[in-house]
Amino acid sequence: MPERAGESSATVEDRQLAALRRGEPAALERLARAEAPRVRGLLHSLLGPRADVEDLMQTVFLETCRALPSFRGESAVSTFVAGICIRVARRAMRPSAWTRRRGEFQGEPRAKDNPERSAEQSEQLRRVHVALSRLSSKKRVAFLLWSLEGMDVRSIAEVMNASVPATKSRILYAQRELRSRAARDPYLRELVDGGGDERA
Amino acid sequence: MSGPDRMRERLRELGRSADRELAPELDARIVEHVRLHGPKVVRRSRQRRAVLRASAVVVPFALGVFGWRAWEGSERGEQSQRARATSVESTGAARVEERARTPLDALAQTPTSQCAQRSVESSTFVGSASGRRVLDLADRGRAVLERDAEAKLDASDPCRLALQLERGRVTVHAKNLMGGELHVKAAGADVVVHGTTFAVERVADDVTVAVAEGAVAVEREGRAVAPLVRGGQRLQVAIKQAPVLLALSEAETLQLRAAVEEIVVPQPRAAADEAASHATLEESVAARTQDAVGRARRSRSASERSVRFRASQARSVRFGTRDDSGSDASSEDSESARSDGAARAIGSSAWQRALADSSSISQPAAAPGESSNASTSVRPSAEPAAVSSPASPREPSRSEAAPSAEASARPEVATPAALASRDAETPARAETASELVARADALWRRGSRDDARTLYRRAGTASGPTAQAAWLALARRELAAGRASAARAALDGYSARFPSGALSEEAAGIEFRIALLEHDDALAERLAKRLCERHPNSPAAQAAARWLRTRGRTP
C-alpha cells in the first residue's frame, strides 16, 4: 500500500491492517508475496523437506485470511502469520496415514557445486528431524526455530505464544535428545560434536 | 563458542544450505490462490464473527427471557394455586359464613358466642351415697358423679368449664361445647375434652381416664402425658409412673355410655310413693337388666355382644331428679315432663336402651334436634312407655308385652314377670321396637346406614311411642346427614303411620328444620309461625321464634 505524504509508519500499518481486515484483494496479495518465502522456510525448517509443503502453505494463508478479522494488530503481521504457520506445522508433525505410507521426508538433495556434500547435508537434516520427531511438537518447533531458523528465544516465545522460560526449557530438552541420539548416529554426532573424527 | 552454540551454528548452516528459494510456480500459485479466495474467506470470517458476537448477546438474553418466563409461569402457577386455595378457602369461608347465616346456624348460633351466652353456675357436687348424681352442664353435656364421688364445677368462665374431681369417678358426656372447653381435673391431671363420652376416676393420686366415644387430651402441668385418648381406650396416670394406655373392653365402653344415657325425670310425687316407686323401680331395673343380658346372648346380630350389666350399677341408676342439685335436665326435659304427651318416647328410647337391652345401652342420642336431654317422664299411668312402672296398677302392662314388632297394637315392654315368662315360652321372638331402634342406632354409627334405615322403618311399623320415635329418629338422622328429602320421607312415614301421634310437636320441629335445609324460606316461615302458635313453649318453637326474629318477623 503506497504511503501517503506525511503519514507515519504506524498510520500506514493501521491502514494496511484495516485493508486486510476488510479483505481487500490487493492487500491480501501483498501479504502473500511478502510472507510466502518466510512461511515456506519455516515449514521447511520445522518439517523438513516434504512433498506436501505447497498444501501446507496454502493452509497457512487460508487460516491467515480467516484469522484476519480478529487480528487486532497487537503484533506485527509477520509474527501473526508465523504463529499461524507454526500451528499448521505442529499439526503436520502428527504423522498421518499418508505420511506413514510415504515416509515423512520427501525432500530431494539439491544439486549444488558439491552434490555429495548436499546429499550428506540432506541426510543430516533428515536425521535431525527423525531424532526430533520423538519429541513433542512444542519442543521440536522451539528447537528448530532456534537452531535452523536462528530465531532468538524471545521471538520464539512470542510466535509460539509461550513464556521465555518455557521456551528455553523446550530448547534445552530438544538439545539433550539430539545429543543422546548423536551418540548412536555419526551424522548427528558431526552436527552436535563438530565431527572431530573423519568418517571413513 | 560453547558446545551448544557451535551445534546451533552448524544446524543453522545446515538449514541455510537447504533450498529455500521460492519456486516461481509455487509462489505464483500461492499468491493467485490468496488473491482469488482470500477476500471471500475474510468476508465469511467477518460474517461468522458478527453472528457469534450477536449470538453472544442474543442467546444469553433469550435464555434469560425464557428462564424468566418459566419462573414467572411457575410463580403464577403457584400464585394461581394459592389464589385458588385462597378462593376455595374464602369461598369455603364465605360458605361457612353463609352457612352461619342460614337459619340452621341461626338456630344454633355461633358456638363461641353461645358458650359465652350460656352461663353455668359454679358449684360443688357430691355424689349421692346411694347412687349417682347427674350434673347438668347447661346443654353442653352432662356429667354423672358416681357414688361417693365429689367434684367442684368452676364455671367462672362460661367458655371454659372446669370440673375438679376430688375423689371418685365422674363420667362425662360432652354434647355441644359451643366453642368452649371442658376440663376435668384430677390430681394434677387435666383432661381436656375434645368431645364426647369419657370417664375420669380418681383414687388417691391415681387417675384413670376412659373414653367411650371421641377423644380427650390428658395433661399434667400443662404438658400432655400421652397422645389423645380415643374412644375405646383407657389411660392410667399415676404419680412417679409412666402413663399406661390400655384398651377398653366392649363392656366398659357400653357402661360408660350407659352412665350418661338419658335419665328419666320423674314427675313430682309423694315422698312415700317416690320411695316405693324407686324401690320397685330398682327391682324392675334389675329384672330388666337380667332380661336384657339374656336377650343379648340370644341376639342374632353379629355386632351385638353379650354384656354383663352389673346389677349393682343398675341398682344405682337413678332417674334424673328434680332436687336442688340442679341436675335437672334442660328446659326441654321440663317441657317434655309437663307435656300432655303421655309417653314421649324420644328420650324413652334411650331410657329403654339403658335398661331393657344390653346392646342398646350404647346408644347415645346423636340426631340433631333430638335432644338427648329429653327424658321420658315415667308415670304410673303412662302409655306403654319404655318402662312401665311396676307400681303402676296397670295390669295390662303384662299383656302388653310385644313379642313381635310387626304387631299393630302391642305393648312394647312388658313387666319383668311377663318378660321372663315370655322369654321362657318363646325363646326366639321378634325384636321389639326398642331393640330395633337400638340396633339401628348402632348400625348408623357404624356407617351401615341403609341397614339402619331398614331397622328404623321396621321399628316404625310397630305401635307405641317407640315406634313413633323411630320415625322421628330416622328423620333426624337424615336431617343431620343433609338428606332433606329422606328426612321428609321419614316424616311422611310417621304421619302416615301415626296421623294423630303424640310426637307431633317434634315432627313439626323437624319439618321446620327440613325447610331450612332446603332453603325454602317461605315454607320455613309458615312452619315456624305454626309451630309458635301450636306449641309456644316447646324448644322447637323457641328456636323457630329466634329464626323469625333474625328475619325481622314476629313469631
Mutate to test the interface with B, among A33, A152, A177 (most CBs of B within 10 A): A33
> Cα–Cα–Cα angle for B180, B185, B187, nearest 5°?
165
Whether B39 sits inside 8 A of A37 (CB atoms) is no
> Cα–Cα–Cα angle for B320, B324, B327, nearest 5°?
35
Question: Does A159 have pLDDT greater than 70?
Answer: yes
Per-residue confidence at B287, pLDDT binned at 50, 70, 90?
low
Contacts across the A-B interface (CB distance below 8 Å): 122
Q: Which candidate from A20, A24, A36 shows the least CB-CB separation from B31? A: A36
Whether B45 sits inside 8 A of A178 (CB atoms) is no
Angle between helices A25-47 and A53-67 (to 10 degrees): 130
Q: Which candidate from A36, A45, A49 shows the least CB-CB separation from B30? A: A36
* pLDDT score at B380: 37
* pLDDT score at B269: 43
B38: chain A residues, CB-CB within 8 Å: 23, 25, 28-29, 32, 61, 65
Query: Contacts by B410-414 with C-beta closer than 8 Å and gap 24+?
Result: B410/B462, B410/B463, B410/B464, B411/B384, B411/B464, B412/B352, B412/B384, B412/B385, B412/B386, B412/B462, B412/B464, B412/B465, B412/B466, B412/B467, B413/B288, B413/B352, B413/B356, B413/B384, B413/B386, B413/B387, B413/B388, B414/B388
* pLDDT score at A120: 75
* pLDDT score at A156: 92
* pLDDT score at A60: 94
Contact yes or no for B196/B128 (Cβ under 8 A): no
Nearest CA in chain B to A54: B26
Whether A194 sits inside 8 A of B17 (CB atoms) is no
Q: What is the pLDDT of residues A17-57, one digit of tens each?
A: 888 888 899 999 999 999 998 898 888 888 887 778 888 99
Whether A148 sits inside 8 A of B15 (CB atoms) is yes
Nearest CA in chain B to A30: B31
Per-residue confidence at B69, pLDDT binned at 50, 70, 90?
confident
| Cα gap B397→B464, rounded to integer Å | 13
Q: What is the pLDDT of residues A1-18, one digit of tens each?
A: 555 555 566 677 788 888
Whether B39 sits inside 8 A of A24 (CB atoms) is yes
Mutate to test the interface with B, among A16, A20, A39, A58 (most CBs of B within 10 A): A58
Q: Select the more confidently predicted residue: B347 or A91.
A: A91
Among A75, A61, A70, CA closest to A32: A61
Q: What is the pLDDT of residues B208-249, one digit of tens each?
A: 888 887 878 888 777 777 778 888 888 888 766 788 888 877
Whether B34 sits inside 8 A of A178 (CB atoms) is no
Whether B34 sits inside 8 A of A28 (CB atoms) is yes
Whether B20 sits inside 8 A of A41 (CB atoms) is yes
Q: Determine the average pLDDT of the residues in A190-198.
A: 63
Mutate to test the interface with B, among A17, A38, A40, A105 (most CBs of B within 10 A): A40
Whether B35 sits inside 8 A of A192 (CB atoms) is no
| B39 Cα to chain A: minimum distance (Å) | 4
Per-residue confidence at B118, pLDDT binned at 50, 70, 90?
low
Question: Does A179 have pLDDT greater than 80?
Answer: yes
Per-residue confidence at B494, pLDDT binned at 50, 70, 90?
very high
Question: Does B29 have pLDDT greater than 80?
Answer: yes
* pLDDT score at B489: 93
**pTM for this predicted structure:** 0.36
Cell of B73: 409461569
| B60 Cα to chain A: minimum distance (Å) | 22
- DSSP letter for B150, please: E
| B37 Cα to chain A: minimum distance (Å) | 8
Q: Determine the average pLDDT of the residues in B524-550.
A: 88
Most confident of B69-73, B113-117, B204-208, B440-444: B440-444
* pLDDT score at A31: 92
Question: Does B111 have pLDDT greater than 50?
Answer: no
Q: Select the more confidently predicted residue: B552 or B104.
A: B552
Question: Does B417 have pLDDT greater than 70?
Answer: no
* pLDDT score at B322: 38
B7: chain A residues, CB-CB within 8 Å: 147, 175, 178, 191-192
Q: Select the more confidently predicted residue: B97 or B202.
A: B202
Per-residue confidence at B338, pLDDT binned at 50, 70, 90?
very low
Q: Which amino acid is at B410?
A: R
| Cα gap A64→A81, rounded to integer Å | 6
Whether B39 sits inside 8 A of A23 (CB atoms) is yes
Measured from the Cβ of residue A188, the count of other Cβ atoms closer than 10 Å reads 21
Q: What is the pLDDT of residues B183-201, one digit of tens each?
A: 888 888 888 776 577 888 8
Q: Select the more confidently predicted residue: B457 or B352.
A: B457
Q: What is the pLDDT of residues A61-113, one digit of tens each?
A: 999 999 999 888 888 899 999 999 999 998 888 765 545 444 445 544 444 56
Question: Does A142 have pLDDT greater than 50?
Answer: yes
Q: Select the more confidently predicted residue: B5 or B175.
A: B5
The 3-state secondary structure of chain A reads CCCCCCCCHHHHHHHHHHHHHHCCHHHHHHHHHHHHHHHHHHHHHHHCCCCCHHHHHHHHHHHHHHHHHHCCCCCCHHHHHHHHHHHHHHHHHCCCHHHHHHCCCCCCCCCCCCHHHHHHHHHHHHHHHHHHCCCCHHHHHHHHHHHCCCCCHHHHHHHHCCCHHHHHHHHHHHHHHHHHHHCCCHHHHHHHHCCCCCCC
* pLDDT score at A165: 94
Cell of B322: 328434680
| A3 Cα to chain B: minimum distance (Å) | 21
A22: chain B residues, CB-CB within 8 Å: 42
Whether B6 sits inside 8 A of A194 (CB atoms) is yes
Q: Which candidate from A28, A122, A148 shows the least CB-CB separation from B35? A: A28
Mutate to test the interface with A, among B14, B34, B53 (most CBs of A within 10 A): B34
Among B146, B139, B240, CA closest to B182: B139
* pLDDT score at A58: 92
* pLDDT score at B414: 44
| B18 Cα to chain A: minimum distance (Å) | 7
* pLDDT score at B263: 41
**Mean pLDDT rounded to a whole number for chain B:** 69
